Amino acid sequence: MTMLLLRHALCALLVAASPCASAQPLNVRPGGWDMTVSVSINGGAPKVSPIKSCVTKEDLERDQAFQKDEDCSYKISARSSTRFAGAVSCKNDSMQTRGEFEVVAASPETIVMKTATKGSSAKGGTVDSRMEMRGRWASASCKGYDD
């Protein structure tokens, strides 16, 4: 379940970095990104994981940089070159969640993303998760950062 939540969070971040025809894209650099993700589920102790991600210029230009999860849909409520926020809804065979996310780009080389989601699993359990992801641009090349 934690990996699924991490995947959804990363997808929201990738959506945030992609351009929109009617709005300014989040000002982040393409290339390899090192991220530290902290996830707490149902108030439990946070699990911290490192993640590497590749963001290409072409992905950003095609509005596909972070839209790598077909299970999620996003509704944007705020967008600027330094902040991106909205609602996310994800559904697959094992889980359904809804929540909010915010991505702040303090610089083109640093981001902080926070999400809060609530949902239910196919087994009938409820899921309340909080996630914080801190990322830093690490390389102009995606070598070693491929998905």
pLDDT in tens, 36-68: 999 999 999 999 999 998 887 776 665 454 445
Give the per-residue pLDDT at 100: 94
H/E run at residue 3? helix 2-17
CA 138, 140, 144, 147: dihedral to nearest 10 degrees? Answer: 100
pLDDT at 101 over 70: yes
pLDDT at 69 over 70: no
pLDDT at 93 over 70: yes
Residue 22 pLDDT class (50, 70, 90 cuts): very low
Residue 79 pLDDT class (50, 70, 90 cuts): confident
Cα–Cα distance between 42 and 118 in angstroms, integer?
9
Going through 23-125 in order, the beta strands assigned E by DSSP cover 31-41, 47-55, 72-79, 83-91, 95-107, 110-121
What is the reported pTM? 0.77
pLDDT at 15 over 70: no
Mean pLDDT (the chain) is: 80
Query: 19 versus 41: which is more confidently predicted?
Result: 41
Give the per-residue pLDDT at 147: 57
pLDDT in tens, 108-142: 999 999 999 999 888 888 989 999 999 999 999 99
